Structure 1
Amino acid sequence: MWRVRRSIRTYRENPAWHHYQKKAPSEWVRQFGVPGHPFGSYRNHSRHVLEGEIRGYPTTLFHLAAVRKGGRYGTVVNTYSVAVLKLPVAFPDTSVSVGRLVYRLREEPLPPQAGTPVHLPPGRRPRMSKCSVDPAFAELVITENVIRMTAEAKAGWRLHGHHMIGWITERRPYEKIVGLAEAMTTILGEFPASVWTGNTGGWPRG
């Protein structure tokens, strides 16, 4: 935990990261599509929100406690470190994750307003969770290489409008979340040029 505290102190003092917020309002996460992975369906607590830029993408980093009802004590808390990239275009709602990161959330990967998710064939080990509201788009972007890169990062990611939301388990130092964001930019680099140039008006959704 001391590594997390030291990381927060270091990044808060770094002028490259222009805004820090110790605790975000409860409604703040709704811009990223809630409920939907990795957010809880009951409550979400977002802390240590840091904003800046990574590889040309406006970037937000934060720690998330995602809460759902259930379990022995009435609620189950899942803790993640999250990176959000703001994209120049809006993509169809799509999600890919290492399965063990999301199974305790017990909910659909995509928010209800995205439309009906289509669950894609399961990936290879480790078990992967994949779905999209647009199977044709998913076929273009969820390649074997993208699945491998996601698995190697031990991460999950989701496209929601102009955002790419990525997550890893537990509360991590910012250095680890920056590494996640960099992996996300590399995954975006695998997307074919056609999906970037052919949907400047936004893809039809749900």
Structure 2
Amino acid sequence: MRKSISRYREDPDWHHYRKRESRDWVREFGLPGYPFGTLRNHALHVLEGQARGYPTTLFHLAGVRRGGRYVTDVNRYSVAVLTLPYSLPDTAVSIASLVQVLHTEPFPPSAGIPVHLPSGRTPRMVKCSVDPTFAELVITERVVRMTADTKCGWRLHGKHMIGWIKEMRPYEKVVALTHAMADILAEFPASSAVWGGSDRRPA
């Protein structure tokens, strides 16, 4: 991990590193909601830069929730956040095993009521959105397959696309996740931009 941090701190595309961030900083990504804990969230090894034309933030997450064998459970993920040019309805797609341990709703209460869609494939997937019409447009079989193949989950929250993979991985793995997320965004039809009031996309 130290070698990965050292390498990316010297990369001009990844210019801003912080060893840890405050719990308040994490809140801008929508709490509670996937993949965050309901009790405490620790963001470690935060790296900011650009990926595929999107302003991007990478970090390791330790999310704590009440319950479990030892009173609290800690779930660890590697997280990538792409900042989009416009907001889209809260929507999530994930391998079920990545999120079922969280025992929480996918979106913060302010987002609205999540509408869960049928899983319909192996591995079992979680698919939901606060806007079923938008979900029908963007959650295509190809998008679900790409998510499953990457062994990840992703969630739209405002202008953020939040992606996660299991455990705290070297940055090389998390950067690969950003490329998979950008590929998924590229699958969204142009008409999806209507929900954000814009048809602009990063190059």
- TM-score with structure 1 setting the length: 0.94
Q: What is the deviation of 1:23?
A: 0.5
Kindly provide the CA deviation profile for residues 128-179 of structure 1, in whole angstroms up to 9, marking residues without a partner as x. 0111000000000000000000000000000000000000000000000000
* Amino acid aligned to 1:41: T
SS of residue matched to 2:147: helix
Instruction: Give 5+ residue unaligned stretches, structure 1.
Output: 202-206
Amino acid paired to 1:185: A
- Report 1:1-206 matches (<5 A): 4-197=1-194, 199-200=196-197
2:64·2:75 contact (CA, 8 Å) conserved in 1? yes
Which residue identity does 1:15 align to in structure 2? P
CA–CA separation in structure 2 for the residues paired with 1:197 and 1:139: 14
Once the two structures are superposed, residues 46-66 of structure 1 have per-residue CA deviations (whole angstroms, 9 ceiling, x without a partner) of 000000001100000000001
Rounded Cα–Cα distance in structure 1 between residues aligned with 2:149 and 2:179: 13
Report the Cα distance in structure 2 between the residues aligned to 1:176 and 1:123, rounded to whole angstroms: 28
- Within 2, Cα distance between the matches of 1:182 and 1:120? 25
Q: How far apart, in 2, do the equivalents of 1:185 and 1:97 lie?
A: 16
**Distance of 2:174 and 2:30 partners within structure 1:** 20
For the residues of structure 1 that align with 2:196 and 2:2, how far apart are their CA atoms? Answer: 41
State whether residues 123 and 147 of structure 1, in contact with CA within 8 Å, keep that contact through their aligned partners in structure 2: no
Amino-acid identity (%): 66
| Cα distance in structure 1, aligned partners of 2:112 and 2:2 | 40
Which deviates more from structure 2 when the two are superposed, residues 86-95 or residues 189-198? 189-198
Secondary structure at the aligned position of 2:162 is classed as strand
Kept in 1, the 8 Å contact 2:58–2:79? The answer is yes
Query: Number of residues paired by the alignment?
Result: 198
Q: After superposing the two structures, state which structure 1 stretch, 116-125 or 89-98, moved more.
A: 116-125
Partner Cα distance (2:160, 2:2) in 1:
27
Which secondary structure state, in structure 2, belongs to the residue aligned with residue 162 of structure 1? strand
| TM-score, normalised with respect to structure 2 | 0.95
Q: What is the deviation of 1:199? A: 2.9
